[in-house]
């Protein structure tokens, strides 16, 4: 009886851990560019602006003026930013997430 009790406890712990890990992955995989932007970028770029350097907003005219024309350019900025911006490595924002954010930036602010 005692052995069965122990086995059930272990089973429940293992099961819970697996569910927790899968939920975690699911959450990471399903975040949209908009959610990621709110999480990582909007502190300094609220509404696509720039609270630190007002000449470098995420609006089209500034991006073009600063030679940021494609999603790849935005991702490059995230990986190796200019002065005052946090660098985001692949552990913080995966390539796929970075792509989602970049696409969101162009869709949302590229007017």
- Taking the complex as a whole, the smallest distance from the CB of residue 101 to ligand HEC amounts, in Å, to 5
Which C-beta is closer to ligand HEC: that of 21 or that of 64? 64
Which C-beta is closer to ligand HEC: that of 22 or that of 81? 81
Alpha carbons within 13 angstroms on the beta-carbon side of residue 10 total 6
Residue whose CB is nearest to ligand HEC in the complex, by number = 82
Contact residues for ligand HEC (CB under 6 A)? 40-41, 43-45, 50, 52-53, 56-58, 62-63, 66, 68, 74, 77-78, 81-86, 88, 101, 105
Compute, in degrees rounded to 10, the torsion defined by CA atoms 42, 47, 30, 84.
-30
Q: Is 43 helix (H, G, I), strand (E, B) or coil?
A: coil
Residue 103 burial (C-beta neighbours within 10 Å; 0-12, 13-18, 19+): middle
Which C-beta is closer to ligand HEC: that of 6 or that of 79? 79
């Amino acid at each position: 009886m005692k052995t069965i009790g122990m086995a059930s406890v272990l089973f429940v712990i293992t099961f819970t851990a697996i569910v927790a890990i899968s939920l975690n992955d699911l959450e990471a995989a399903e975040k949209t560019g908009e959610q990621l932007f709110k999480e990582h970028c909007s502190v300094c770029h609220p509404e696509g602006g720039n609270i630190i350097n007002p000449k470098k907003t995420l609006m089209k005219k500034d991006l073009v003026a600063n030679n940021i024309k494609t999603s790849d350019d935005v991702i490059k900025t995230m990986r190796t930013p200019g002065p005052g911006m946090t660098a985001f490595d692949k552990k913080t924002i995966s390539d796929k997430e970075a792509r989602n954010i970049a696409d969101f930036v162009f869709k949302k602010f590229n007017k």
